[in-house]
Amino acid sequence: MGKMPAAVIGVGQTHHRAKREDVSMAGLCREAMDRALEDAGMTLEEIDAIVVGKAPDLFEGVMMPELYLAEALGAAGKPLLRVHTAGSVGGSTAIVASSLVQAGVHKRVLTVAFEKQSESNAMWALSVPVPFVMPVHAGAGGYFAPHVRSYIRRSGAPTHVGAIVAAKDRTNALKNPYAHLREEKTVEMVLASQMLWDPIRYEETCPSSDGACALVIVDEDVAKSSPNPAWIHGTVMRSEPTTAAERDQVNPQAGREAAAALWKQAGITSPIDEIDAAEIYVPFSWFEPMWLENLGFAAEGDGWKLTEAGETAMDGRIPVNCSGGVLSSNPIGASGMLRFGEAALQVRGAAGEHQVDGARRALGHAYGGGSQFFAMWVVGAEKPTS
């Protein structure tokens, strides 16, 4: 027996900020959950199971926060699962939640992912020195910058392509009332900003945010109650080792294989022609062209040409991160679920000012760790035929 149809009928998110000092972790999660439930026209009582996701516990210093959160999240007396796959966790959490419905185990699953980065310092948490090893680590930017340099060298991309991405995403965020950074940016402004981890500039870097995202995922029967369900057409997760001899960190094998499997599941043969909007996990600007290639929207070495030609803008051939993306809001644990949720909003026609006209199929994508965890889904306005 194949998977049973499942759909997203509720999407909720917080207003993302550098510091949400007005709410606790529980309050942050509930803000997103209550919006998702309202969107779905449901109450917590009607939910069968709750799936929580967040990134490393060192970010808030609370071990297994799902235990303390259980009651506030309304999970008492229900199954409560916690998922962790580093930065991709928001995506993989949504996939775990959807699989509970697709397997026929539950009819109505609520999933929530969060991060309260203001409770500590992610740069510190990702750079804790390890004995005997050279202390050259410098957070996520320090990790990814050499691989961005590799991409630029391998593809021959002009060095301003990263700035095009950053200016586009920050400007898109002006259309998203929930985004953390909402400021008009030009390519010149991005290029003029400080080099933090050369070749990555300050304005090409995601912010640290407090925020949460929640989804209500239901079976075919319950989805009838929704005027605009986002049907799940495919879900894929893949992983690979962080380091291996000659491992390709620019175009990782796990991402390539995940994308190929995803398009096959969703019955898509030409992603750039058949996907109307993509929400791709781009924490540093250059990852837009890198992931365009990894996902198969462009041939290897050609991703930057789509970006440079404006094809990833809202009115382009493949609009990428119309919400402003991770570059505009980065509550790490929630960032992947925001990509998945924004994809659902697009095919539901519910993305507000950043809606792509007539979007019928959309991609949600997340990656994490040292580009070693990938999670992605395709959602559509039509119920899948197989």
Partner 1 sequence: MSRTLSAPVTVAFDYTRSVGPVLGRFLTGLRDGHFIGARLSDGRVVVPPPEFDPVTHQATADFVDLPETGTVTSWTWVSEPVAGQPFDRPFAFALVTLDGATSPILHAVDVTSAAEVSTGMRVRARWAAERTGAITDVVFVPDALGVPTSEVEAAAQPARSLEQLTGIVTPVSLDYTYAASPEESAFFQGLSEGRILGQRCPACEKVYVPPRPACPVDGVPTVEEIELPDVGTVTTFCIVNVPFLGQKITPPYVSAYILLDGADIALQHLILEIPVEEVRMGLRVKAVWKPREEWGTTIENISHFAPTGEPDADFDTYKHHL
Alpha-carbon distance 353 to 374, whole Å? 29
Piece in contact with partner 1 (CB under 8 A), picked from 37-45, 95-103, 229-237, 261-269: 37-45
Sheet holding 210-219, edge to edge: 80-83, 49-53, 108-116, 210-219, 6-13, 230-239, 373-380, 361-368, 277-279
Q: Which of 3, 4, 44, 56 binds partner 1 (CB under 8 A)?
A: 44
Helices (DSSP H) in 103-180: which residue ranges? Answer: 122-125, 139-155, 161-172
- According to the binding rule CB under 8 A, does residue 131 interact with partner 1? yes
CB of 59 to partner 1, least distance (A): 9
Q: Which is nearer to partner 1, 121 or 186 (CB)?
A: 121
- According to the binding rule CB under 8 A, does residue 245 interact with partner 1? yes
Piece in contact with partner 1 (CB under 8 A), picked from 4-12, 19-27, 89-97, 157-165: 19-27
Alpha-carbon distance 138 to 144, whole Å? 10
Amino acid, res. 171: T
Q: Which is nearer to partner 1, 246 or 315 (CB)?
A: 246
- According to the binding rule CB under 8 A, does residue 149 interact with partner 1? yes
Contacts 24+ apart (CB under 8 A), 143-147: 143/370, 144/197, 144/200, 144/283, 144/284, 144/287, 144/371, 145/197, 145/198, 145/199, 145/200, 145/284, 147/249, 147/250, 147/371
- According to the binding rule CB under 8 A, does residue 22 interact with partner 1? yes
- According to the binding rule CB under 8 A, does residue 194 interact with partner 1? yes
- According to the binding rule CB under 8 A, does residue 191 interact with partner 1? no
- According to the binding rule CB under 8 A, does residue 333 interact with partner 1? no
Q: Which of 78, 137, 160, 182 binds partner 1 (CB under 8 A)?
A: 137
x/- binding map, residues 73-112, to partner 1, per CB under 8 A? -x-x------------------------------------
Nearest residue to 83 via CA among 104, 58, 64: 64
Q: Which of 41, 64, 71, 159 binds partner 1 (CB under 8 A)?
A: 71
Nearest residue to 357 via CA among 325, 385, 315, 324: 315
Three-state DSSP class for residue 229: coil
Q: Element (H or E) spanning 96, and its range?
A: helix 89-102
Give the interface size with partner 1 as a residue count (CB under 8 A).
63
Q: Residue 235: phi, psi to the nearest 5?
A: -140, 135
- According to the binding rule CB under 8 A, does residue 174 interact with partner 1? no
Point out which residues bind partner 1 (CB under 8 A). 19-27, 30, 43-45, 58, 60-61, 71-72, 74, 76, 116, 118-121, 123-125, 127-139, 141-142, 145-147, 149-150, 153-154, 194-200, 241, 243-246, 250
